[in-house]
């Protein structure tokens, strides 16, 4: 709890000093694709590659449901709190209830209010958003790959800004745990609806 208070204090300090990060305009994917989590798939916008980000988190799971079923759950964020307990007060600021490129989604997680814009939505394959919270500029992608009768789901995130710069070890650990829980919940709901 004390650490979350520290995150809030740092976020406030970043906002007051002008170091707060706001979502940037869409950018082209980086040419530095050597860190793509799946060979041949380059997802990183310039400036948010793992090599230049203090926070980089990678999680992976195989879900016993086809990619389209997994996709259906990922693109309905208003339903997410029912199977991912860390997502709270989810709302869509722009776009329909089934999100796609251009949608803007806001939720609370790990003591912060997160606002992101969906930058890429390739049905059944890739969902990626960019945004963050005060003092955090993040890029998060969900990559779906058919795996027999199931789906290999890779989720990656990079973070830059004042807060990740100061709290990188804590954020890496907290995000890794949260994303592992997110994948578990996604797996359970997708398998039950297969």
7-21, 119-133, 163-177, 180-194: segment of lowest average pLDDT: 7-21
Per-residue pLDDT tens digits for 42-100: 788 888 999 999 999 999 999 999 999 999 999 999 999 999 998 999 999 999 999 99
For residue 181, pLDDT over 80 is answered with: yes
The answer to whether 117 touches 65, Cβ cutoff 8 Å, is no
Give residue 97's Cα distance to chain centre: 18
Q: How many CB atoms lie within 10 A of CB 120?
A: 18
pTM attached to this predicted model: 0.80
Angle between helices 2-17 and 162-192 (to 10 degrees): 120
Residue 63 has a pLDDT of 95
Rg (CA), the chain: 16
C-alpha distances in angstroms, 43 versus 37, 40, 160, 169?
A: 9, 10, 16, 23
For residue 3, pLDDT over 50 is answered with: no
- All domains of the chain in start order, with CATH: 2-10+52-192 (3.30.530.20)
- Three-class DSSP category at 149: coil
Greater pLDDT, 9 or 168: 168
**What residues does 137 pair with on adjacent strands?**
132, 160
Nearest to 102 by CA among 123, 120, 124: 120
Per-residue pLDDT tens digits for 184-193: 999 999 988 7
Per-residue pLDDT tens digits for 92-145: 999 999 999 999 999 998 888 999 999 999 999 999 999 999 999 999 999 999
Residue 8 has a pLDDT of 38
| Residue 19 burial class via C-beta count within 10 angstroms: exposed 0-12, middle 13-18, buried 19 and up | middle
Region 161-187: what's the mean pLDDT? 93
């Amino acid at each position: 709890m004390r650490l979350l208070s520290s995150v809030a204090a740092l976020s406030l300090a970043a906002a007051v000093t002008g170091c707060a990060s706001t979502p940037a305009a869409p950018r082209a994917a980086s040419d530095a694709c050597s860190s793509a989590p799946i060979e041949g798939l380059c997802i990183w916008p310039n400036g948010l590659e793992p090599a230049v980000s203090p926070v980089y988190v990678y999680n992976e799971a195989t879900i016993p449901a086809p990619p389209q079923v997994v996709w259906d759950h990922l693109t309905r964020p208003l339903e997410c709190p029912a199977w991912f307990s860390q997502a709270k007060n989810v709302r869509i600021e722009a776009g329909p209830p089934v999100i796609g490129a251009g949608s803007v989604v806001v939720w609370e997680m790990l003591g912060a209010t997160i606002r992101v814009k969906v930058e890429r939505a390739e049905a059944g394959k890739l969902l990626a958003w960019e945004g963050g919270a005060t003092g955090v500029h993040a890029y998060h992608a969900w990559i779906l790959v058919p795996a027999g009768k199931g789906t290999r789901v890779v989720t990656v995130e990079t973070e830059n800004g004042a807060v990740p710069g100061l709290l990188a070890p804590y954020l890496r650990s907290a995000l890794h745990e949260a994303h592992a829980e997110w994948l578990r919940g996604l797996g359970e709901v997708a398998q039950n609806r297969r």
